[in-house]
Amino acid sequence: MSGDAKFKSSVGVIGAGIQGVCISLCLIKKGFKVTLIDRDDPGKDSASTGNAGHFSPYASVPINRSDILVDVPSMLFSSTGPLALKWNYVYKMLPWFLKFVKNCNKKNMMHTAKYMHQILNLALPAYDELFSDIDISGLVESNGIIYFWTKNDLKSRELEINIRNELGVKQQLLTRHEIHDLEPHIRKIYHAGVLYPNARHTRNPKKILLKLFDLFLKRGGHFKRQNAQSISFTSDNKPVIKTDLNLYTFDKAVIACGAFSKKLTDQVNEKIPLDTERGYHVHFRGHDHLLSRPVIFLNKGFGITPMEQGLRVVGTVEFGGLNNPISKKRVLNLVNNAKYLFPELTDHHDEWLGFRPTLPDFLPVIGPSKNYKNLFYSFGHHHLGWTLGAISGKIIAGMIAGENTNLNLSPYKSLRFS
Ligand SMILES: Cc1cc2nc3c(=O)[nH]c(=O)nc-3n(C[C@H](O)[C@H](O)[C@H](O)COP(=O)(O)OP(=O)(O)OC[C@H]3O[C@@H](n4cnc5c(N)ncnc54)[C@H](O)[C@@H]3O)c2cc1C
């Protein structure tokens, strides 16, 4: 695309979560005219603000592993485990589950690991580029992330550790004593763990998202607080976004609505099997001094991050779609788990439910629509959408600008579901 044409091109981006905001900012930096559309104020309640705040460049081993199928049934039937089901949603999610099971084999697991690693490896440098233009002091810490467990020989840990070694991920195995030295306030229930020293965390994802959004506005970006209802195309293939208030025609458009993207992609004749893994958080205010970095207690499948709001206790994978209410049982489970590790915790605040956007092969969709050359997608980043915000933004902006990249981007195309 020639320079002049590029500067005149307009792009509509739907969704102001971390994906949409990073994409919009990267596009503005390249000279596009960008309009960001969200039905809510940016950062109001989305997954991008309630997450655990981990920047996890190491986390390439997907959930679609062959050994997981053995554990799933018992986890699902346990009321205190990390997995849960809303029974009224089972039949709706059945096609997703069947596709997920098909992906639980070594070949597909390694395919996902390889292509998650490709983008995870670039995730922090991509954020550093965006962070060089905003003040993140006090908001991002680089103390690594610790996983720990209660049995020395937890088999599944070996698999993860071996794959990460193969991929060249930096990791440091920890003894019980080393965990205690690093995080002395946690009850010593663990036997061993691993430190990912290159991981970072934010003390407030919402503040970071809003700072990036403000920068987007300062650079000339436009924001419309409207609900995108449908997408159609002009005779020369330009996308037309119909919102509850208006019709907008752009040269290009991007769908970045997280777990809600399917409503729009279904309308453009794609069959993308996007669903959601619901997750929860609660805060214990004023206790963030108890941890120096995020920790994850693997046996119970939950984590705790020290944040400005206090200790943010995060976890649960609940299959239940986008409309079921918050499950008090799951909240209580998180609260009890946190108190098990920190008996001094008392009252919790801010019970929150969020929606991880997840595809059954645990790879995101990043790239052009199968049917319309001026429509692009960036969603389905499951447990890693916060980490992958800046790099997805960079990739999509590069694609729209017609730039070449030395990455293999075909594994992320929606075409894989055709
Ligand atoms: C409990 C939990 C913990 C997590 N922890 C981490 C972590 O530590 N590290 C990590 O990397 N990832 C984590 N994740 C995952 C990460 O938060 C998500 O993958 C990521 O936030 C998804 O970002 P997004 O921009 O795609 O979607 P979202 O953040 O969901 O944003 C989508 C936006 O689209 C808007 N929208 C939807 N439909 C429409 C419409 N029709 N019109 C207009 N606007 C619309 C919504 O209002 C919303 O603002 C976690 C997720 C959860 C739930």
Ligand 1 site, residue 37, Cβ cutoff 6 A: yes
Atom of ligand 1 at shortest distance to CA of 379?
A: 26
Say how far apart CA 67 and CA 12 lie, in whole Å: 42
Q: Which domains does the chain have, with CATH numbers?
A: 3-47+207-273+362-417 (3.50.50.60), 62-92+137-200+275-358 (3.30.9.10)
pTM (2 d.p.): 0.96
334 and 342 Cβ atoms separated by less than 8 Å: no
Ligand 1 site, residue 13, Cβ cutoff 6 A: no
Q: 322 CA to middle of ligand 1, Å?
A: 12
Q: 181 CA to middle of ligand 1, Å?
A: 34
Q: 51 CA to middle of ligand 1, Å?
A: 8
Q: What phi and psi, each to the nearest 5 degrees, are found at residue 245?
A: -120, -20
Helix (H) or strand (E) holding 147: strand 145-149
379-407 residue pLDDT tens: 999 999 999 999 999 999 999 999 999 99
Q: 188 CA to middle of ligand 1, Å?
A: 34
79 three-class SS: coil
For atom 22 of ligand 1, the residue with the nearest CA is 385
Q: What is the pLDDT of residue 67?
A: 79
Confidence bin at 357 (pLDDT 50/70/90): very high
Q: 3 CA to middle of ligand 1, Å?
A: 33
Confidence bin at 3 (pLDDT 50/70/90): very low
Nearest of 194, 184, 269, 282 to residue 232 by alpha carbon: 269
Atom of ligand 1 at shortest distance to CA of 384?
A: 11
Ligand 1 site, residue 204, Cβ cutoff 6 A: no
For atom 2 of ligand 1, the residue with the nearest CA is 51
Ligand 1 site, residue 23, Cβ cutoff 6 A: no
Atom of ligand 1 at shortest distance to CA of 352?
A: 1
Ligand 1 site, residue 257, Cβ cutoff 6 A: yes
Atom of ligand 1 at shortest distance to CA of 19?
A: 25
CB-based burial, 69-93: b 16+ in 10 Å, e otherwise = eeebeeeeeeeebbbbebeebeeeb
Once rounded to an integer, what is the mean pLDDT over residues 121-148? 97
Q: 258 CA to middle of ligand 1, Å?
A: 5
Q: 187 CA to middle of ligand 1, Å?
A: 32
- Mean of pLDDT over the chain: 94
Percent of the chain with pLDDT over 70: 96
Q: 255 CA to middle of ligand 1, Å?
A: 13
Ligand 1 site, residue 18, Cβ cutoff 6 A: yes
155 pLDDT above the threshold of 80: no
Q: What is the pLDDT of residue 4?
A: 47
Ligand 1 site, residue 379, Cβ cutoff 6 A: yes
Q: 46 CA to middle of ligand 1, Å?
A: 5
Once rounded to an integer, what is the mean pLDDT over residues 107-128? 97
Atom of ligand 1 at shortest distance to CA of 42?
A: 49
Residues 6+ apart with CB under 8 A from 172: 194, 195, 196, 197
